[in-house]
Copies of this chain bind each other. A is one copy, B any other.
Amino acid sequence: MANQTIKKLLQDVKDGKVSVSEAETMITKEAYTDLGYAKVDHHRKMRQGVSEVIYGAGKTPEQILGIAQSLVEAGNKTVLITRMSKEAMALVSTKYKVTYDEISKVGIIGSIPKADGNGTIVVACAGTSDLYVANEAALTAESMGNEVIRLYDVGVAGIHRLFAHMEQLQQAQVVIAIAGMEGALASVIGGLVDCPVIAVPTSVGYGANFGGLSALLSMLNSCASGVSVVNIDNGFGAGYLASMINHQTIKEKKLS
C-alpha cells in the first residue's frame, strides 16, 4: 500500500495539486501521530486529497484541541471541526483563531482557501429549520475551496420559490438538496438538473418522521436519477463529496 501512496503523491506534486514543501512534510512526517486517545492520520491528504477533519461529537474539548494541534503542526493551513460544542470552541480559541458558526456548530481554524473548483456548488434546503445542516454543508465546501450558492427555504409546498432559481440550479456543477419531513425536494431537483444531486435528509419534523427516517427513505427511493444520499443531518459529508466532484480532473491523462 505504501508504494501506491508514494507514487500517487509524486504524481500530485507533478500535477501541482500538492506543493513541494507539503510533500516534503508528508514524506518525512510519520503516517500518523498516536495521541493515545487518537491516531491522527497524516496520510489522508496524500490518499484522498483532503486532510483529516475533526468530528467534534463525543470528544472532549481537550481531545479536540489535541488533535487540532497535531494537524496544525503537521502543516495543515485549514483545520475543519464539525459538531463542535461551545465549550470546545472556547478552549480551542485560547490557542487558535477560530471562525465559528453557531447554527451548524462548525469551526474553522486558519484561512478559507480561494475557490478553485470547476464550477459552483448549490446548497438548497427546504425550510428555515434545515439551516443547521445547510450551513454545515456550505461551510465544509467553502473550507475546501469551493464557490457556494445558498438557496434556502425552497421546499415544494411553494414550488415557485424553487423554480425562480432554475438557472442557478442548471448551471451548478453539483447540487446539495437538504430536506427533512418528506424530503421531496431531492426528487424534484433531481428531475430538473443534469448534474449530481447529493441528498441530505434532516431530522427536522416530528411524529412519523422518526428522527429523519421519513426523509431518508424518501431520498433513497427517489424516482429521479442522479441522486445519491448521505446520512441524516450529514451536511459535512455532502459538502465534502460535492467538493470532491467539483475538483475532479481527468485522471486518465495524469496517471497513464
Residues of A within 8 A of B (CB): 1-2, 4, 8, 31-32, 36-39, 41, 43-44, 47-50, 52-53, 55, 57-59, 63, 67, 118-120, 126-129, 131, 152-161, 163-164, 166-167, 170-173, 180-184, 186-188, 190-196, 198, 201, 203-234, 236-238, 240-241, 244-245, 248, 250-252, 255-256
Contacts and interface: CB of A to CB of B under 8 A. Distances in A.
A216 B208 contact: yes
A246 B67 CA distance: 35
Copies in the complex: 8
A184 B231 contact: no
Contact of A188 (B120, B188, B222): B188
A171 B252 CA distance: 7
A228 B251 contact: no
A209 B217 contact: yes
A111 to B, nearest CB: 21
A47 B245 contact: no
Question: 4 closest pairs, A vs B, by CB?
Answer: A207-B232, A58-B129, A184-B184, A214-B217
A41 to B, nearest CB: 4
Contacts of A183: 182, 184, 218
A44, A217, A222: which has the most chain B beta carbons within 10 Å?
Answer: A217
A153 B194 contact: no
B38 A251 contact: no
Contact of A32 (B59, B119, B161, B170): B161
A232 to B, nearest CB: 3
Nearest to A224: B157
A110 B183 CA distance: 33
A223 B228 CA distance: 17
A101 B115 CA distance: 45
19 contacts: A8-B194, A37-B128, A47-B194, A48-B193, A67-B128, A156-B184, A157-B223, A182-B219, A182-B220, A184-B218, A194-B244, A206-B233, A207-B220, A213-B217, A214-B221, A225-B237, A227-B230, A227-B241, A228-B228
A161 B4 CA distance: 15
B208 A220 contact: yes
Given A128-B63, A156-B188, A161 B39 contact: yes
A250 B216 CA distance: 30
